[in-house]
């Protein structure tokens, strides 16, 4: 599916508005609302499957599953909103950059979260903004290192080499 520049701009604007809303809400209320996380998760999963990248959902399930286990173990450190956001962001990262982008997003997000906790000297923090920034940085690094064409070529090669 080919997208023209106008539609890509609209899509990017919507994603940025969604991310900014999540960022603000999590900072202000310490929660990620279902009204923003659930529709995004459903939309990204459906779009990746419809767009010919059903394996990208595994990236989202991997991140969300890891966070679900951490949420159970941490007793409040990671919430349900973080788990639902991980499904969206993990699927988007896998769709855009494969396994490396998902792992990069998780590592960057957690490094940012730990850095914030150390900076503020507090165990309480909003993890959603770190997840959003980690995913954006990971995909940005992938695009810079490999380029858009190389990134997609490598992704398709990894799927067809099995």
Three-class DSSP category at 52 = coil
The tens digit of pLDDT for each residue in 81-99 reads: 999 999 999 999 998 888 9
Instruction: Give the structural domain span for 138.
Output: 5-160
**Max CA-CA distance within the chain?**
47
Say if residue 158's pLDDT is above 60. Answer: no
Q: Please name the residue ranges forming H helices in 51-160.
A: 56-74, 80-120, 128-146, 148-160
Q: How many CB atoms lie within 10 A of CB 70?
A: 15
Count of domains forming the chain: 1
Burial 95-129 (b: 16+ CB within 10 A, else e): bbbbebbbbbbbebbeebbeeeeeeeeeeebbbbb
pLDDT-derived band at 54 (thresholds 50, 70, 90) equals confident
The tens digit of pLDDT for each residue in 15-43 reads: 899 999 999 999 899 889 999 999 999 99
- Give pTM, 2 decimals: 0.83
CA dihedral 74, 79, 84, 90 (to 10 degrees): -50
pLDDT score of 151:
54
């Amino acid at each position: 599916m080919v997208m023209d520049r106008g539609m890509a701009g609209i899509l990017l604007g919507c994603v940025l508005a969604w991310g900014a809303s999540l960022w603000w809400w999590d900072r202000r209320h310490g929660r990620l609302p279902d009204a923003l996380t659930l529709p995004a998760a459903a939309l990204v999963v459906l779009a990746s499957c419809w767009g010919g990248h059903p394996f990208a959902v595994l990236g989202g399930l991997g991140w969300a599953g890891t966070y679900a286990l951490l949420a159970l173990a941490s007793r409040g450190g990671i919430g349900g909103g973080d788990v639902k956001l991980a499904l969206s962001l993990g699927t988007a990262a896998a769709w855009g950059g494969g396994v490396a982008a998902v792992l990069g997003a998780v590592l960057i997000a957690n490094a940012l979260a730990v850095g914030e906790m150390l900076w503020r000297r507090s165990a309480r923090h909003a993890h959603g903004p770190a997840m959003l920034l980690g995913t954006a940085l990971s995909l940005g690094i992938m695009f810079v290192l490999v380029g858009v064409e190389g990134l997609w070529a490598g992704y398709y090669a990894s799927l067809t080499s099995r």
